[in-house]
Amino acid sequence: MISAVILTKNSQKYLKEVLESVAFCDEVIIYDSGSEDDTIEIAKSYSNTVIQVDTNWQGFGKHKQKAVDLASNEWVFVLDSDEVVTKELQQEILLSIQNAQFDAYKVPRLNNFFGKWIKHGGLYPDYSIRLFKKDICFFNDRVVHEAVECNNTGVLRSHFLHYAYDTVDEFIAKQNKYSSLFHKSNKLKAVFSPFWTFFRMYILKMGFLDGWEGFVIARLYSQYTFWKYIKKD
């Protein structure tokens, strides 16, 4: 009834935990983009469908849709290789597709930054469509910040876990890459948007309740906003 679709690239760190968390699915598809670590070996020990692609990068939206197209079941649940389905979410997923009232479901995500689970700053519940009917709902073509487009959507209560960033260096490296992919050169926004980003996350969204990590996260996201608006084609 349901296929798990997991995107990988050099994903050995959390992959075993991720794959064990989707053992309840009828099919597990691993879509790999040139891993050079033990990702493929780990994947093959849990799944018979491990696809290795060596194509020009077209963006996260198109990449994820190609992976979803390989699924053989009506329903798919899409995960990244650092995201884990909880027991509570497993049960809710199975109940939802047995008595489906919607074509897709938004699922809350609990993010781990620098070893701490973050519940403020606008980073929780962090809803996104992850469970959907593959012939009705589709990923858009955005290079980054891709999303599933579907009109008839519901919301699940149970969250999945996301091991977002282990270190500040890891965060900076990834957000520097994303800001290059999603840049929109605008000097005025480069001046004012970083301040607004910090104020919204740390004060309005109560990031200060997450302690030092909440401050660091708000500061880093404001820096990402600055990068995004100063970079040119």
For the stretch 32-62, pLDDT in tens is 988 999 999 999 999 889 999 876 677 889 9
* 3-state DSSP assignment of residue 5: strand
The C-alpha atoms of residue 171 and residue 162 are separated, in whole angstroms, by 14
Higher-confidence residue of 183 and 65: namely: 65
- Give the pLDDT of residue 55: 66
pLDDT for 233 beyond 80? no
Asked whether residue 77 carries a pLDDT value surpassing 80, the answer given is: yes
Same domain assignment for residues 67 and 122:
yes
Which of 165, 197, 216 finishes a domain?
165
In a shared domain, residues 110 and 187:
no
pLDDT, the chain, mean:
93
Q: Is the pLDDT of residue 183 over 80?
A: no
What is the domain-level CATH number for residue 144? Answer: 3.90.550.10
Q: Rounded to 5 degrees, what are φ and ψ at 100?
A: -65, 125
Residue 206 has pLDDT above 90, yes or no: yes
Which one-letter amino acid corresponds to residue 196?
Answer: W
The predicted pLDDT at position 144 comes to: 79
Q: Are 24 and 114 members of one domain?
A: yes
User: What contacts 30, CB < 8 A, 6 or more positions away?
Assistant: 6, 8, 43, 47, 49, 50, 51
- The mean pLDDT value for 167-192 works out to 85
- Domain extent for 176: 168-230
Residue 161 — pLDDT band, cuts 50, 70, 90? Answer: very high
Q: Where are the beta strands (DSSP E) in 11-150?
A: 27-32, 49-52, 75-80, 83-85, 104-107, 109-113, 116-118, 128-133, 138-139, 148-149
Higher pLDDT, 177 or 1: 1
Quote the pLDDT of residue 228.
Answer: 86
Q: Are residues 47 and 116 in the same domain?
A: yes
| Cα–Cα distance list, 158 to 6, 43, 83, 86 (Å) | 19, 26, 14, 8
Report how many domains make up the chain.
2
